[in-house]
Amino acid sequence: MQLTKFGHACVRLEKDGRRLVIDPGGLTDPHALDGADAVLVTHEHFDHFSEETLRAAARDNPALRIWTNTSVAEKLDGLGTRVTACGEGDAFTAAGFDVQVHGTWHAPIHPDIPRIGNIGFLVDAALFHPGDALTVPDTTVDTLLLPVHGPWSTTGQLIDYVREVSPRQTYAVHDGALNDIGASMINGFLGEDGPGTGAPYRRLTAGASVDID
């Protein structure tokens, strides 16, 4: 499949002429959804979910299907069977991609901030997007999309997370709030000059694509 990085946490996967988009939120160019056949949304935070953008995409493409958790599905009322709520342990096919759902909750930010639901998506038993969580799937992950910057993690936690998931390779997502200095610092710790995660680390620029073997 081909992986294209868009703004912040959003990626697009392409295979056999079909397009699957994950987490096209408020920090993502709406054109990320151009030609999309299906959309996956991990949770309701604005940087992962834009109701306006998804409704516009659904109007433009009557065949567009969306899979997400219950709270996001409720916000997309009126789209009927085009929206499917899913959760931990579910499996389905979206635009020809096989998808498994892992995880339940957003990573904790602070005890005084209520946690919300968050699900991660394992696509074609190979590529995992965890959303805003450090979920470890109970299966092999070839390519991990690593949320490298958020108010709920430290770089040390990310190192341990990659080691525990033990993917073949890692690509950065959730980096929209980083400037160049911050990105370079994280690259230093997660890359080959850091303490070691066991997996090559790469950060794509917005709009860049790579083939995932």
* Residue-number span of the structural domain to which 108 is assigned: 2-211
Per residue in 115-128, pLDDT (tens digit) is 999 999 999 999 99
Per residue in 141-200, pLDDT (tens digit) is 999 999 999 999 999 999 999 999 999 999 999 999 999 999 999 999 999 889 999 999
pLDDT band at 101 (very low <50, low <70, confident <90, very high): very high
d(CA 6, CA 134): 21
* pTM over the 0.95 mark: yes
pLDDT for the residue 7: 86
CB count in 10 Å sphere of residue 107: 19
| Widest CA span in the chain | 50
pLDDT for the residue 213: 80
pLDDT for the residue 173: 98
pLDDT for the residue 18: 97
Look at residue 48 and tell me whether its pLDDT is greater than 90: yes
pLDDT for the residue 166: 98
CATH number of the domain bearing residue 30: 3.60.15.10
Contact 170, 187 (CB under 8 A): no
pLDDT for the residue 165: 98
Contact 106, 131 (CB under 8 A): yes
pLDDT for the residue 12: 98
Question: Total structural domains in the chain?
Answer: 1
CB count in 10 Å sphere of residue 72: 24
Per residue in 49-93, pLDDT (tens digit) is 999 999 999 999 999 999 999 999 999 999 999 999 999 999 999
